[in-house]
Structure 1
Amino acid sequence: MATTETLLQTLAAKLPLVLSTAGVLLAVFLAQVLLKGSPLANLPVALDDLPSDEKRRQAYLTRAKEVYSSGYKKFKDSVFRIITSNKFDVIIVPPKYLNELKSLPDDTVSFDGAIEQTMHAKYTKLEVGHKLIPHIVKSNLTPSLVRLNPTIAEEVQESFRREMPECDDWTPININYKLLRVVAMVSGRVFIGPELSRSEEYVDAAINYTLDLMHARRAVDTMRPWLRPFLANRLPEVRKLNERLAQADAFIRPIVADRRKLKKGEAPDDMLQWMLDGQSERFGGEYKTETLARLQLGISFAAIHTTTMTTTNVFYNLAAYPEYVSVLREEIRDVLAQHNNTFTSAALQAMKKVDSFIKETMRLDPAGFSSFQRRVNKPFTLSNGQVIPANVMIEVPAHALAQDPEVFENPSQFDPWRFYNIRQKAREQGAVEEAAQNQFVSVNPLVLTFGYGRHACPGRFFAANEIKMIIANTILMYDMRLMDGHEKRYPNIEFGVTSIPDPTKELLFRRVQIA
């Protein structure tokens, strides 16, 4: 007891010294941290005229286009940062460094890591990082388009027969809603096969999975990070998403079971079968049906809403600028007449004005204001000596680039033949590569619709063909215009980095009058 009392007395006597020493060490540590500074501290920030990061965060939510544009104009050839609604740091890299960025290895700048982080894949169960899907798209889907295009065209025509009313006179139609269903069925025919592609359970899942996923992502995003491992899976939005995944597993399971019994040569020609045939140790072995269901929904997430938004944007422009429809209709008729009235790959490639109209639409009204999103896992240095630290996101200001008058003449003007004329001029000058780069489907460092580098959208060839077929069939069958009282194109809805055509708007359609 005496020894204990003595020890306590000694400790009590020296406690002030211990606390003082600890305080000094803490102060030294904090001073070192503060003196060292954040690796981002010296980077300029967009909207630096605003008084705080919170004001900049609010501005990003309501006018992100301006955030990217003002930063691009002010710091055009240098790196700057933006304050987003998320909790991670975002660095904007000038487009002139794209070729450097695309050469960096995946363990330095990660495409999958960016998706995992922004989409909270751990909780939303979004399948990220599977090498099988990009492999199948590149090795099976794209090379098969020559063979599949007639089937896709038939599915487009059948879907329109199912979804569109007669329209003998001017008829109001919510084209975004109709396109969602058409694109789901047409894409489903290639993705999952004829057993399910027209069924309501598949169409509903393909369309609404994306909405459920985005609701779940936003719900997790608003939760404090340290709470997510304990509570994220209990969120109502996450539970609803899990129910959607279970439903997809239920309706895909019997299809997969039947497919696995088929002999070689009996199986359908679609992505589900290619997935089953392509499973190997290289791609993680044989997948469980629930994994196949999540992969199928992931494909829907990547394809259906983006294709629908692009096509809706095109229709809004066709209705706003009806003077161009007759030119497009003439081209479509002439091209099809030269190709046995069949939507072959060659016919689609020959529709150069249709192609230009789509590309110009996406230049002015992209789905997002930035591109080339990557998570930085390891620091790297740009050619100008600028060090990009780890644990940040990088982006390229795609929309600001497309609005640069030094890149495009009269950039704010909708010029439907802009890329058609660029391609024609390039051909006349013998610049074959430049002509090819200005197709809608091409990966172009000046129009980043499909990204850039080795992670550029692998499904863009299928998407471009599908979009062209939908537009061409519609132009051949219908005239269209804005609703009465509207003289200008419907403005898109913008929130954060995203821009979407207003899904509530209607257009007037009338069957083409045959003289």
Structure 2
Amino acid sequence: MATTEAILDALAARLPLVLPTVAVLVAVLLLQNVFRPAPLANVPVAGRDLGGDEKRRQAYLFKAADLYREGYTKFKGSVFRIVTASKFTVVAIPPKFLGELRKLPDDAISFDDAIAQFMHAKYTKLQTGEKLIPHTVKANLTPALVRLNPSIADEVQESILRELPSCADWTPVNINQKLLRIVALVSGRVFIGAELSRSEDYLDAAINYTIELMEARRALDQVRPWMRPFVGNRLPEVKKLDQRLRQADKFMRPVVAARYQMRDDEKPDDMLQWLIDGQDKFKRHTTEELARLQLGISFAAIHTTTLTSTNVFYNLAAYPQYIPELREEIRAVLAEHNGVFTSAALQAMKKVDSFIKETMRLHPAGAASFQRKVNKPFKLSNGQVIPAGVMIEVPSYVVSRDPDLFDDADKFDPWRFARLREEARAAGEVEAAAVNQFVSVSPNILTFGFGRHACPGRFFAANEIKMIVANFVMDYDMKLPDGVEERYPNIAFGVAPSFVSPPARPVAKADRETLVVQAQHYGTT
């Protein structure tokens, strides 16, 4: 006790001498932080004329494409900042830097961390950083397409017959809801097997998990970042998603558990089984974890494939003059392949491929692509330093409409990419011909991303979309309803994929039966 008192007395005696020194050190530190140049001070911000960051944030939520267009046009060739709903600073980088960005390691710019932030994984419980899924898609699913394509085509045809109504004249159908079920049925056949994929329990889980996940993400985007820790888990949309996860787990877990009990000769040839068998190369998953992985796969496949297909159908309805030419190609190709949707047949449908790729050029999956979280600072070749803690992305929406990259960039030209492929092939430029396929990735069309994290499932998705479109085109004509003169505009939420606005009503007429297609998209990501 005496020793302690002596020490305290000594400190008290010297305190008047120590305090000025401490005060000086604190002042120096404060001055350094106040006058230290902000790491992105030289990077212009899109929407500066709007006023403060909160106004820019609101503009981003509902008019993000306008902000990206302004930044890309005004600061062309340079990086610019976007104020978003996220608490991270977002830096938009022109596509000319993609070559050097793709070389940076994952610990410097992280795809998984970007997805976790973008999808609010802390609240939505979305699993990120999972290595088993992309490995299984690349090692099992893509190589299996040659043998699986005929059965996928069968499922497409059966699903269309099941989901579209019998009708003798123009008949209204909600095309987006129908596509959701068709895509879920077709994808489910590959993901979990034909028997289970047709059960309403599975369809309910696969479809509604996707919808409710996007609704929860959208709701969280509208909450100010500093408030999310306090209200995020209490949002009605988040609670609804939590309930969906519990319901899906209850259904999926017995399915996964049954697979573990199967003999080798009983194992199905589907994604779930490939995931189970491929675990030895990665960590072993619990039954609950594998059930959640199935939901994640459904989300990735169903939402984006339905989005793309819906946009294609809207263009078919808006430009019905191109349907006969598409139909002629489809029927001619199938005649050469014994009526079977083989891989070779799908490759030969060049106009179908071009129509889909042109649709996604004008109506891409989002205002930006190649999202990465910067975990280590790096310097671009122009000398611009990108600090840690920010998000980077490429403004894909405006890039794909850049008149310096595409002739008549704002015009829908369905055969644009078919022509480019033929011209490149005639010139002996094999690589240039290949890059103009729908499934290919390039700095100018970022539908499937870019670099080593480009969508691994794009080959399956492309085949599925082509089969759905081809089957529909073979049997139906489409047009807009009376009094509507042009394609309904898409609406968007933040950087998320564009989606069809509720009033949209394209119309379809069958060769043998007729239907009116009324599409109302469920939401956005």
The normalised TM-score by structure 2 is: 0.92
Find the aligned partners of 2:42 and 2:398 in 1 and give their Cα distance: 23
Q: How does 1:348-363 map to 2 (within 5 A)?
A: 348-363=346-361
Q: How does 1:114-513 map to 2 (within 5 A)?
A: 114-221=114-221, 232-280=232-280, 283-498=281-496, 499-503=498-502, 505-513=504-512
Partner secondary structure for residue 265 of structure 2: coil
The one-letter amino acid paired with 2:160 is F
User: What is the percent sequence identity of the aligned residues?
Assistant: 67
Q: Is 2:33 the partner of 1:37?
A: no
Q: For residue 518 of structure 2, what is the aligned residue in structure 1?
A: none
Per-residue CA distance 1:4-43 (angstroms, 9 max, x = gap): 9xx9999999999988776654443221102112211221
Query: Any stretches of 5+ residues in structure 2 without a counterpart?
Result: 514-525
The 10-residue stretch of structure 1 (216-225 or 328-337) with the greater mean CA deviation from structure 2:
216-225
Find the aligned partners of 2:227 and 2:502 in 1 and give their Cα distance: 35
The one-letter amino acid paired with 1:434 is A
Q: 1:229: Cα distance to partner? A: 5.7
Find the aligned partners of 2:220 and 2:457 in 1 and give their Cα distance: 29
Per-residue CA distance 1:360-415 (angstroms, 9 max, x = gap): 00000112011100000000111121111000000011111111111000100000
Partner secondary structure for residue 371 of structure 2: strand
The one-letter amino acid paired with 1:204 is D
Q: Could you tell me whether the CA contact under 8 Å between 1:160 and 1:182 is conserved in 2?
A: yes
The one-letter amino acid paired with 1:48 is R
Per-residue CA distance 1:476-501 (angstroms, 9 max, x = gap): 11111112221100110122112112
The one-letter amino acid paired with 1:273 is Q
Partner secondary structure for residue 195 of structure 1: helix
The one-letter amino acid paired with 1:365 is H
Partner secondary structure for residue 179 of structure 1: helix
The one-letter amino acid paired with 1:245 is L
Partner secondary structure for residue 325 of structure 1: helix
The one-letter amino acid paired with 2:306 is T
Q: Could you tell me whether the CA contact under 8 Å between 1:67 and 1:82 is conserved in 2?
A: yes
Partner secondary structure for residue 365 of structure 2: coil
Q: Could you tell me whether the CA contact under 8 Å between 2:68 and 2:395 is conserved in 1?
A: yes
The 10-residue stretch of structure 1 (313-322 or 230-239) with the greater mean CA deviation from structure 2:
230-239
The 10-residue stretch of structure 1 (162-171 or 14-23) with the greater mean CA deviation from structure 2:
14-23
Distance 1:139 1:489, change over 3 A: same
Partner secondary structure for residue 196 of structure 1: helix
Distance 1:492 1:218, change over 3 A: closer
After superposition, the CA RMSD in angstroms is: 2.6
Find the aligned partners of 1:62 and 1:261 in 2 and give their Cα distance: 50
Partner secondary structure for residue 91 of structure 1: strand
Per-residue CA distance 1:450-477 (angstroms, 9 max, x = gap): 0000000000000000000000000111
Q: 1:502: Cα distance to partner? A: 2.4
Q: Could you tell me whether the CA contact under 8 Å between 2:109 and 2:374 is conserved in 1?
A: yes
Partner secondary structure for residue 378 of structure 1: coil
Find the aligned partners of 1:193 and 1:455 in 2 and give their Cα distance: 27
The 10-residue stretch of structure 1 (224-233 or 340-349) with the greater mean CA deviation from structure 2:
224-233
The 10-residue stretch of structure 1 (229-238 or 16-25) with the greater mean CA deviation from structure 2:
16-25
Query: Any stretches of 5+ residues in structure 1 without a counterpart?
Result: none
Q: Could you tell me whether the CA contact under 8 Å between 2:85 and 2:222 is conserved in 1?
A: no
Q: Could you tell me whether the CA contact under 8 Å between 1:352 and 1:420 is conserved in 2?
A: yes
Q: Could you tell me whether the CA contact under 8 Å between 1:174 and 1:503 is conserved in 2?
A: no
The one-letter amino acid paired with 2:256 is V
Partner secondary structure for residue 510 of structure 1: strand
The one-letter amino acid paired with 2:501 is D
Find the aligned partners of 2:341 and 2:418 in 1 and give their Cα distance: 20
Partner secondary structure for residue 196 of structure 2: coil
Find the aligned partners of 2:441 and 2:491 in 1 and give their Cα distance: 26
Find the aligned partners of 1:31 and 1:390 in 2 and give their Cα distance: 22
The normalised TM-score by structure 1 is: 0.93
Q: Could you tell me whether the CA contact under 8 Å between 1:173 and 1:509 is conserved in 2?
A: no
Q: Could you tell me whether the CA contact under 8 Å between 1:173 and 1:507 is conserved in 2?
A: no
